[in-house]
Structure 1
Amino acid sequence: MFWSRAQLQTQAGASPADLEQGASPSPRRGSQLDGDIPVRRGRGAEARSADKPASGGNVDEGGRLEPSEKLTRHQLFYVLVLDGFGGMVLSGGVNFALAYVMYTTQDTVKSPIRLFQLPNTLAGDAAVTIIVQCILTWFVEKGLVAYDLSRRSVQPIGFIPKPTLPWQRRLFFLPASDTDIEDRPPSGIAAIIQQALRGFLLAVVGFVLLWPAGVGILTALGEPAGGDYTYADRWTPQIFKLILGGVLGLLTTPLMAAFWLIKAGWEGKSQRTVKA
C-alpha cells in the first residue's frame, strides 16, 4: 500500500525525500499521470528520427539507402560532376603524364614519332589507350560506387525497370527471367574476365567515336614524311593524349557509375519484395 501510494505521489510531482518527511506533493503544471504518457512517446519518436540517415532516405537490409523513385539532384551531381568531370580531369592528367614520359625519354631521331608506323605510333597508342582506360576505369568505378553505396553517400537508382531481353539481362548480371533463381556470381579469374568484358564493350564504343576523329586531327598536325606523318617529342603527343583521355573519361565514366547504381536499385527492390 505504501509503495503504491509513493509511486502515485512521485509521479504527481513529489520527490522521495518529500515522501519520507511527510510533505505533500507539489503539483506540476499539466502533471496528470495520463498526460505523461504522450511526452515519453514523443521523446521516443525523436530518438527514432535521430537515427535516420542524414540524407533522409530509409536504409535496406544491406545497409544501403533505399532506391530512389526518380532521378535526384544528388544522383545527377554524383554521376555527371563527380564521375564525369572528375573522370575527365583524372584520366586526362594521367594520359598527359604517361605521354610525356613515353615520348621525351627516348631517341626520337632513331625512332621518330609517327602516326601509323611502329615503334612510336600515335594511332596505335590511341587505340591501346582507349581499351586499357575503359577496362581499368570499369574496375575502379565498380569499387568506388560499391563503397559510396555502403557509406550511404548516394542512393541507388530505382525507377528504371529491369530489362526483359536476354542479352540485356546477361549484360547486367541478371538471371534469364525474374522467376529464375539468380546464380552465384563467378569468382576468381572468371569474375575478372566477366567484368573486363563489360569494360571492353564500352571501349569498342569509345573507339568508334574517338579514334577516327583523333587520327583525322593528327593528320592535320603532323609533318608528311614517307607516306606517314611525324611529330616532335613535345607537345603534340602529350596534348593529344590529354584530350583523348579526358573526353573518353567524360563519356564513359558516368555510364559506368550509372550501371552500378541501377543494378543496386534492382537489388534493393528485390530485397524488399522478398522481405514482404
Structure 2
Amino acid sequence: MALKEKLSKNAYFFYYFILMQGIGSAIISGGIEFAIAYGMYHGRRRVKMWRFPHTMAGDLVVSLWVQVGLTWVLEEIFIGWDFCCGSACEFPHMDAICNYVKKKKALYWYCEVEYGMLPRERGPQGFKQYLKDLFLPERNMSRGHTKKYKLWLWLVRKAMRCLSWGLLLFIFFWPTTLGIMVAPGTKYGRHDYSYNSYPFPQVMKLIFGFVLGLICTPFTVAVVIIRNETYTRMVDSGELEEEWPSEAGFEGSPEERKQDQLLMPSESASVESKC
C-alpha cells in the first residue's frame, strides 16, 4: 500500500509538502551552498562584502537567481510527474483554492492553468510522453508550431514567472541578508566590510541557501499542484477541453504516432513502481 493511502490527507500534506518539499529541500540547498562557499573562499586571506573578486554580496545575488531558476525547472518536471502518478499531496480547501484561481485572471495566468496535466489514467501514460507534453505541448500558443518554437516558448513562459518570483525574493531577501552581515563584519574602507575565509562565508551561505530553499521550493510546488488540480477540475466541469487522450501530444507521421501509442502500455508498466 502506498504511503499516501496509509496516511490521512492532512498527514500526507504535512509529510509531502512541509517535510519533503520544504525542510528536505532547504537542507539540500543549504548543504550545496555550504560546499560551493567552501570551494570559493576557503584559503583566501579576506573576503569582502562588495569588493571583487571575492564579493559576498555578488555571490548571494547569483546564488538566489540560480536557485530560483533551477528549483522552478526541477519542480515543474518532478512535481508534475508526481501529480500524474497520484503521489502529490492535495492542499486543504483545494476546491476553494481552485475556484479562487479561476476567478483571478492574474493567478490564472501565472499558474498557467491551460497547460495543466491530468492524472495518469487520463493523461500521459509514460514519463517520455509526459516530458513531451510538458516541454512541447500541442495546445494554446504552441499548437501547430515546430519543436524548437515550442521549447523556446516554454522557456519564455517559465522565465517570466521565475523573474517575477525571483525579483520579489531579491527585493526583500537580499538587502535583509546584507544587513545581517554587517554585524559580524570588520569595517573596510568607507562602505565595505571584510570577513575571514572560514567559517563565516560557508555558514552564511548555508543559512542563506536553507532559508531560500524553505521559501522557494514550497512556492514552486504549490504553483504546479494548484495548476494541475485547477486544470483537472475545469476539464471535469467542461470549462476546458480535455487534451488527453488524443493525438495532440504525438508528433510525426501517423505510423510514428501509432507506434508511440502501442508502446505506451509497456512504458506505463515500467514506471509503475515509481508511482
TM-score (norm 1): 0.66
Structure 2 vs 1, CA of residues 55 and 236 (structure 1 numbering), >3 Å: closer, same or farther?
Answer: closer
1:203 aligns with 2:166: yes
For residue 250 of structure 1, the aligned residue among 214, 236, 240 is 214
Which letter does structure 1 place at the counterpart of 2:28? L
1:229 aligns with 2:186: no
Counterparts of 2:158 and 2:3, CA distance in 1: 33
> What secondary structure does 1:234 align onto?
coil
1:214 aligns with 2:171: no
- After superposition, residues 181-192 of structure 1 pair within 5 angstroms as 183-185=140-142, 187-192=150-155
1:193 offset after TM fit, Å?
Answer: 2.4
> What secondary structure does 1:221 align onto?
coil
1:156 offset after TM fit, Å?
Answer: 4.8
Structure 2 vs 1, CA of residues 233 and 268 (structure 1 numbering), >3 Å: closer, same or farther?
Answer: same
Larger gyration radius, structure 1 or structure 2: 1
Q: Which residue of 1 aligns with 2:252?
A: none
Q: Deviations over 1:200-252 (max 9, x none)?
A: 22222222232122111211111112221111111110000000010011012
Counterparts of 2:10 and 2:219, CA distance in 1: 16
For residue 173 of structure 1, the aligned residue among 104, 109, 112 is 112
1:54 offset after TM fit, Å?
Answer: 8.0
Higher helix share: 2
Gaps in structure 1 of 5+ consecutive residues:
1-51, 57-70, 176-181
1:163 aligns with 2:126: no
Counterparts of 2:89 and 2:224, CA distance in 1: 11
Counterparts of 2:141 and 2:31, CA distance in 1: 39
> What secondary structure does 1:163 align onto?
helix
Identify which of structures 1 and 2 has the higher relative contact order when contacts are C-alpha pairs closer than 8 Å and 6+ apart. Answer: 2
For residue 42 of structure 2, the aligned residue among 104, 107, 113 is 104
Structure 2 vs 1, CA of residues 155 and 222 (structure 1 numbering), >3 Å: closer, same or farther?
Answer: closer
> What secondary structure does 2:193 align onto?
strand
Q: Deviations over 1:160-213 (max 9, x none)?
A: 1133343322212246xxxxxx71457212211211322222222222232122
TM-score (norm 2): 0.66
Counterparts of 1:94 and 1:200, CA distance in 2: 22
Counterparts of 1:75 and 1:168, CA distance in 2: 22
Counterparts of 1:215 and 1:155, CA distance in 2: 36
Give the fraction of aligned pairs with identical amino acids, expressed as a percent. Answer: 27
Q: Which residue of 1 aligns with 2:57?
A: 123
Counterparts of 1:194 and 1:203, CA distance in 2: 14
Question: How many corresponding residue pairs?
Answer: 203
Counterparts of 1:94 and 1:132, CA distance in 2: 12
For residue 273 of structure 1, the aligned residue among 214, 225, 237 is 237
- After superposition, residues 75-114 of structure 1 pair within 5 angstroms as 75-104=13-42, 108-109=44-45, 112-114=46-48
Counterparts of 2:158 and 2:203, CA distance in 1: 30
Equivalent pair of 1:149/1:156 in contact (CA under 8 Å) = no
Counterparts of 1:55 and 1:121, CA distance in 2: 45
Gaps in structure 2 of 5+ consecutive residues:
115-138, 143-148, 243-275
Which letter does structure 1 place at the counterpart of 2:112? F
> What secondary structure does 2:102 align onto?
coil
When the two chains are superposed, the root-mean-square deviation of aligned CA atoms in Å is 2.8
